[in-house]
Structure formats: structure tokens, C-alpha cells
């Protein structure tokens, strides 16, 4: 599939098993999300532009390269928050802007309740962070908001994706690059991914119903 990048790496597959396992407790689940987020952004950042600089080491002058573009991290509340710190740690100069979008449980359509993007020039590259790409509604709504802001390049980073979500996002925004650890089988009647990993937000924040 064009603009869909599935990370077929032994470490990715190893951590993904723990992420899916219903026995994995919230603390361990968060650690898996963090590890997979780092691997995802490593892959997604391979085409970032750099500029050459010089730095003084304790012994001599060394040439090196640093990122030259403005990078924006766009976590979709609330589950996307679990991906921010590991990505931010690798791209410390990035900007973080939040979007609040939830899925109506009856219509399965996205509802935007929070958007805080700055006025003025948009970032050069926006990374949408959300552990799951299910129906594609939230991702499409996020892409629409970012395009209105003026972002020219958008990448979506997720742990798992459903074919329906990929089709929906690319039917509306075909240039958005999707980086994922797995393309799962399908959505069930409640629009949850199968086999999936359950509700990522609940598992990250230990907010599962008892």
C-alpha cells in the first residue's frame, strides 16, 4: 500500500506481543507504548532534512548534522499522550500541540472538543500520535485541522491500524504517511480493531472499568 510503512522488525514484533496481551498491566503497557513509539519515530524520521554544523569537542573541531525543519508532535487526546515523551526525548526541539478528538460510541464518528494550534506559520512536518488507527475518523479530522493550519507534510504514527482506517484516511488525505507496527484484520461491529489490543487509553491510564 502506498504511503503505508509497516515496521517488520524483530524488536517491534517482540514488544507488540506484550502490548496485545490482556495480562499486561498498565505500567508495563505504558513501557511497551514508549518503546514502540521510539522505534516508530526512528523509522518515520529517516527523511528529515539536516544542515551541517561544527562543534568543538574537548579535543578538536568536529563536523556534524542537525535537524533543520520545524517538527510538530500532535498527540490525539487522550491515548496519544502516552507516545509524546519517548518521541519528544528523541526530537527535543520539537513543538507539541494537542488535539482532543473522541469517537461517538453510537455513530462512531469523530467529535473534536479541543484544538490548540498557534497562529502564524505552521510547522514543516507534523507527526500525529495515536496508538490506534481504527475507523480513521480521528486521524482524518486531525489531518484536516493540520492542513487548515498550513502543514505541508503529515505523518501518522500508530501501534496498530485497521484496513478500514487506512482506507478512510487515504481516501481523504492520500499524502499522509502512515507508520505502524501492524495492519490488523478488521474492525468489529463496535468499531474496535481485531485482534487489536483493547482500549489503548484505558490501558495506558489504568482507567478500565471494574
Active-site residue, selected from the candidate residues 107, 148, 167, 175: 107
Active-site residue, selected from the candidate residues 78, 124, 153, 199: 199
φ, ψ of residue 61 to 5 degrees: the values are -95, 135
127 Cα distance to chain centroid: 6
Active-site residue, selected from the candidate residues 31, 78, 103, 153: 103
Alpha helices (H) along the chain: 10-20, 26-44, 84-90, 137-149, 163-172, 200-204
107 is an active site residue:
yes
| Helical pair 26-44 and 10-20, crossing angle rounded to 10 deg | 150
202 is an active site residue:
yes
Active-site residue, selected from the candidate residues 31, 78, 153, 202: 202
Strands 110-115 and 99-103: antiparallel
Active-site annotation, residues: 103, 107, 199, 202
Amino acid at each position: 500500500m502506498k504511503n503505508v510503512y509497516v515496521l517488520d522488525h524483530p524488536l517491534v514484533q517482540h514488544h507488540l506481543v506484550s502490548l496485545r496481551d490482556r495480562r499486561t498491566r498498565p505500567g508495563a503497557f505504558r513501557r511497551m507504548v514508549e518503546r514502540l513509539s521510539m522505534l516508530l519515530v526512528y523509522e518515520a524520521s529517516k527523511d528529515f532534512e539536516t544542515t551541517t554544523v561544527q562543534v568543538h569537542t574537548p579535543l578538536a573541531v568536529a563536523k556534524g548534522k542537525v535537524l533543520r525543519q520545524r517538527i510538530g508532535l500532535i498527540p490525539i487526546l487522550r491515548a496519544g499522550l502516552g507516545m509524546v515523551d519517548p518521541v519528544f526525548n528523541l526530537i527535543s526541539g520539537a513543538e507539541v500541540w494537542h488535539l482532543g478528538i473522541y469517537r461517538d460510541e453510537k455513530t462512531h464518528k469523530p467529535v473534536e472538543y479541543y484544538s490548540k494550534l498557534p497562529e502564524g506559520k505552521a510547522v514543516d512536518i507534523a507527526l500525529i500520535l495515536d496508538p490506534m488507527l481504527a475507523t480513521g475518523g480521528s486521524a482524518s479530522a486531525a489531518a484536516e485541522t493540520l492542513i487548515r493550519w498550513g502543514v505541508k507534510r503529515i505523518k501518522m504514527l500508530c501501534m496498530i491500524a485497521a484496513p478500514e482506517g487506512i482506507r478512510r484516511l487515504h481516501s481523504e488525505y492520500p499524502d499522509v504517511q502512515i507508520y505502524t507496527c501492524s495492519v490488523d484484520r478488521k474492525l468489529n461491529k463496535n468499531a474496535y480493531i481485531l485482534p487489536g489490543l483493547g482500549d489503548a487509553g484505558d490501558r495506558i491510564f489504568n482507567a478500565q472499568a471494574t
